[in-house]
């Protein structure tokens, strides 16, 4: 079950920091729900609210998904990764239904959730292989034994060429991978008149007391509207901290876990999606996308990205190149024409856990009987669970007395954020210095 509290860890301040004296008294409109933040969480919550018959809008301060969502590797985990570490086993259960749900949504099942039939499923599965260490063997055994839906072992001839000669078992895992922008686009296209771009975080102003929001003013250029929401959801990823602070609430209920992601680009790289397991860690997670010129771009995550936080970009690239040599013996990058590297840093924004590790499930804090909800999906894959929990936690009876849609004259929907590999500086593979693999 999603952990859902009725109050943050510390009681909310009774201050009125979100309130600005002299707030204009322009004519206000009633609305059931204002969702703040248009990443995968906010967009999914908006869709669930509209399907529940609520009048709702989603307000975005930048571009849709411009925090984590457009950068996500797009894997709809079913829990396999979480069977590798004992402390992660609790997370395997909530997520286990997600691959089949997303797959059904991608084939258009309106009764289950948003229509993702226009979203691109980059791969119906991921591959799991290992390196030839003892610890690595034990990790694979753990992964196979602990899962409810067993992944299938694949004969050598049926493996992708890149991992044909990998030692030991290679597993095909029924975890689909989605092109993140195409999912964001599918969700946004369904509700164009309910998506509102504002002038950055300052384009939203709140009148609130102790976290209870009575009015929201939205601004973009000369457009301005005042809304009286019956409920507000903060689904702004890392932005939730600033929003909580602005309402005088305790922002330390949130945590960030940093990553240093590596990108490898080349016209002739094969598209590939999988995890190399070493002991109880995911040594490297590889997913593939395409840039505007049609090059294939690999995103390299997993332990490589977590341990790389302390490396500078060139060291991270050198380390990543050594890791790829170690985990993909059939790939010789020296022969891949035009291969080039880049890196970027990004934080995972989550609800704080006592241990500082990832929460086991999507997370929700509810204040004032659901009038203010603070939401974190924890994983992209868990957005459907989060949205269902939000609808459940809204003030009682909100759907049966729903208000009319609001008029948003002069506002427009936000654009969708670009992939993290667009507009970057690249280092040619020829110029990568050597580093020892882990």
Site string for ligand FAD, 163-202 (x = CB under 6 A): --------------------------------------x-
77 binds ligand FAD (CB under 6 A): yes
Phi and psi torsions of 414, nearest 5°: -70, 160
- Judged by CB under 6 A, the residue of 18, 79, 114, 237 near ligand FAD is 237
Residue 208 CB coordination number (10 Å): 25
CB of 156 vs ligand FAD, minimal distance in Å: 27
Sheet of strand 126-130, all strands in order from the earlier edge strand to the far edge: 152-153, 171-173, 126-130, 274-278, 281-290, 296-301, 254-266, 340-351, 427-428
Of all helices (H) and strands (E), which one includes residue 372? strand 372-376
**DSSP class of 270:** P
- Of residues 237 and 248, the one with the C-beta less far from ligand FAD: 237
- Of residues 11 and 258, the one with the C-beta less far from ligand FAD: 258
- Of residues 233 and 402, the one with the C-beta less far from ligand FAD: 233
- Of residues 36 and 106, the one with the C-beta less far from ligand FAD: 36
CB of 88 vs ligand FAD, minimal distance in Å: 14
User: Collapsing DSSP states into helix, strand and coil, what is residue 56?
Assistant: strand
- Judged by CB under 6 A, the residue of 57, 75, 187, 373 near ligand FAD is 75
Sign of CA pseudo-dihedral 106, 108, 114, 120:
positive
- Of residues 207 and 402, the one with the C-beta less far from ligand FAD: 207
- Of residues 12 and 37, the one with the C-beta less far from ligand FAD: 37
Contacts of 43 (CB under 8 A, 6+ apart): 58, 64, 65, 184, 187, 188
308 binds ligand FAD (CB under 6 A): no
DSSP 388-416: HHHHHHSPTTTTTTPPPPPP-TT--PPPB
The first and second tokens of residue 338, run together, are 């035009």
- Of residues 289 and 377, the one with the C-beta less far from ligand FAD: 377
Query: Considering only residues 358-397, where is the footprint of ligand FAD by CB under 6 A?
Result: 376-381
413 binds ligand FAD (CB under 6 A): no
- Judged by CB under 6 A, the residue of 239, 302, 384, 413 near ligand FAD is 239
Site string for ligand FAD, 324-363 (x = CB under 6 A): ----------------------x-xx--------------
CB of 137 vs ligand FAD, minimal distance in Å: 25
CB of 59 vs ligand FAD, minimal distance in Å: 6
DSSP 112-129: TSS--TTS-EEES-EEEE
- Judged by CB under 6 A, the residue of 12, 18, 65, 274 near ligand FAD is 65
Site string for ligand FAD, 204-233 (x = CB under 6 A): x-----------------------------
Which of 57, 60, 80, 56 has its CA nearest to residue 70?
A: 60
Query: Considering only residues 11-40, where is the footprint of ligand FAD by CB under 6 A?
Result: 36-40
Residue 236 CB coordination number (10 Å): 29
66 binds ligand FAD (CB under 6 A): yes
125 binds ligand FAD (CB under 6 A): no
297 binds ligand FAD (CB under 6 A): no
343-381 burial code (b ≥16 CB/10 A, e <16): bbebebbbbbeeeeebbbbbbbbbbbebbbbbbbbbbbb
300 binds ligand FAD (CB under 6 A): no
263 binds ligand FAD (CB under 6 A): no
Which residues are 217's β-sheet partners? Answer: 205, 226
- Judged by CB under 6 A, the residue of 8, 139, 142, 301 near ligand FAD is 301
94 binds ligand FAD (CB under 6 A): no
Burial class (CB in 10 A: 0-12, 13-18, 19+), 228: middle
What's the distance, Cα to Cα, between the start and end of the chain in Å? 37
Q: How far apart are CA 432 and CA 165, in angstroms?
A: 26
Q: How far apart are CA 87 and CA 419, in angstroms?
A: 32
Site for ligand FAD, rule CB under 6 A: 36-42, 59-62, 64-69, 71-75, 77, 201, 204, 235-237, 239, 242-243, 259, 261, 301, 346, 348-349, 376-381
């Amino acid at each position: 079950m999603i952990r859902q509290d009725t109050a943050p860890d510390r009681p909310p301040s009774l201050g009125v920091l979100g309130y600005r004296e002299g707030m204009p008294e322009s004519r206000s409109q009633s609305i059931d729900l204002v969702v703040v933040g248009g990443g995968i969480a906010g967009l999914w919550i908006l869709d669930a609210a509209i399907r529940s018959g609520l009048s709702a809008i989603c307000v975005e301060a930048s571009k849709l998904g411009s925090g984590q969502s457009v950068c996500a590797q797009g894997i709809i985990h079913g829990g396999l990764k979480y069977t590798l570490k004992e402390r992660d086993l609790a997370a395997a259960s909530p997520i286990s239904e997600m691959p089949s749900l997303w797959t059904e949504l991608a084939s258009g099942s309106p009764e289950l959730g948003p229509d993702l039939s226009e979203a691109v499923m980059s791969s119906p599965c991921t591959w799991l292989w290992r390196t030839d260490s003892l610890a690595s063997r034990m990790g694979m055994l753990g992964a196979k034994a602990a899962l409810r839906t067993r992944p299938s072992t694949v004969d050598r001839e049926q493996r992708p060429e890149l991992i044909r000669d990998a030692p030991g078992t290679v597993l095909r895992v029924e975890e689909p991978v989605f092109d993140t922008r195409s999912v964001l686009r599918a969700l946004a296209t369904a509700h164009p008149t309910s998506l509102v771009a504002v002038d950055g975080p300052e384009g939203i102003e709140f009148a609130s007391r102790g976290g209870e929001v009575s009015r929201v003013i939205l601004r973009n250029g000369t457009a301005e509207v005042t809304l009286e929401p019956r409920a507000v959801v903060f689904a702004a990823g890392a932005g939730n901290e600033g929003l909580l602070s602005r309402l005088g609430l305790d922002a330390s209920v949130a945590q960030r876990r940093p990553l240093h992601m590596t990108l490898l680009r080349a016209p002739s790289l094969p598209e590939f999606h999988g995890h190399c397991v070493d002991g109880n860690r995911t040594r490297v997670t590889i997913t593939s996308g395409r840039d505007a010129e049609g090059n294939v771009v690999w995103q390299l995550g997993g332990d490589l990205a977590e341990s790389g936080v302390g490396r500078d970009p060139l060291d991270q690239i050198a380390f990543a190149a050594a890791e790829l040599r170690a985990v993909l013996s059939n790939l010789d990058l020296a022969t891949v024409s035009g291969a080039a590297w880049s890196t970027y840093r990004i934080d995972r924004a989550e609800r704080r856990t006592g241990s500082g590790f990832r929460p086991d499930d999507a997370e929700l804090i509810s204040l004032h009987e659901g009038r203010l909800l603070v939401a974190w999906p924890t994983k992209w894959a868990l957005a459907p669970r989060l949205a269902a929990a939000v609808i459940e936690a809204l003030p009682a009876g909100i759907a049966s007395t729903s208000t009319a849609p609001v008029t948003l004259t002069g506002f427009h929907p936000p654009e969708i954020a670009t992939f993290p590999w667009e507009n970057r500086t690249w280092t040619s593979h020829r110029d990568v210095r050597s580093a020892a693999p882990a």
